[in-house]
A = this chain, B = another copy of it.
Amino acid sequence: MKIIPGPATLILGVDPGSRHTGYGLVGSAGGRLEMLAQGRFSPPAAWPLPRRLAHIHQGLSELLSGHRPAAVAVEDIFHGPNIRSALKLGHVRGVVLLAAAQAGAEVYEYAPRLVKSSVAGYGQAEKSQVARMVAELLNFRGDLAEDAADALAVALCHAGQSRLGGLGSAPRNSRRGGWRGLTEADLAALVNSK
């Protein structure tokens, strides 16, 4: 019998991007982690920016109202190749945070290095390694877009940070709270091993 996780134990990871915004919904039930949904929003590049933002906002809002996750996890980014791309990314990220706030979900932000280290074991892991570990940890077979893998990685990072069972308890702020990295083995022990 499959246990359907309740909203309090659902985490929506989001990877905002100006071309693709990936998402991954992870739930914990009975100490197991399961992937409930993953994908990405890719509004046509030819659309004007406001319309692209509306597309992403609508998609995320539907996901949020449909599943009502208690937590939305995103990478905390404070650097980038240049001002222009930071500004562009900021637009999408703002819309993601807005959708979370409107849905009443708590937002958690994690440094990219922390996300990589909690999923792949070290902070400098390649994107492909992160994707492989995400698929393995969630027992996923099939195609996983890079953006969706990144979104699932930050959801898993939050699951590790909040130690799963603690998801229903008072939220800890990743920026303030002391963080102690999970090893690959720690995480593997937490996930559904079926």
Given A83-B79, A84-B78, A50 contacting B90 (CB threshold 8 A) = no
- Per the bound structure, the CA–CA distance linking A33 and B107 in Å amounts to 43
Number of this chain's copies in the assembly equals: 2
| Chain A residue total in the interface (Cβ 8 A) | 30
Asked whether any CB of chain B lies closer than 8 Å to the CB of A44, the reply is no
Q: Which residues of A62-84 are within 8 A (CB) of B?
A: 77-80, 82-84
Query: A43-75: contact bitstring with B at CB < 8 Å (1 yes, 0 no)?
Result: 000001111011001000000000000000000
- Residues in B with CB closer than 8 Å to A53 are 94, 97-98, 101
Given A54-B102, A102-B54, A49 contacting B97 (CB threshold 8 A) = yes
Query: A84-98: contact bitstring with B at CB < 8 Å (1 yes, 0 no)?
Result: 101111111111011
CB distance from A137 to the nearest CB of B (A): 27
Query: A3-35: contact bitstring with B at CB < 8 Å (1 yes, 0 no)?
Result: 000000000000000000000000000000000
Which of A89, A100, A101 is the most central at the interface, judged by chain B CB atoms within 10 Å of its CB? A101
Q: Which residues of A87-142 are within 8 A (CB) of B?
A: 87-95, 97-98, 100-102, 107
- Per the bound structure, the CA–CA distance linking A84 and B86 in Å amounts to 8
Contact check, B98 vs A95: say whether CB atoms are below 8 A apart: yes
Q: A53-B97, A53-B101, A94-B94 are in contact. List 15 more A-B contacts (CB 8 A).
A: A48-B107, A49-B107, A50-B97, A50-B98, A50-B101, A77-B87, A78-B87, A82-B83, A83-B83, A83-B86, A86-B90, A90-B90, A90-B93, A91-B91, A92-B94
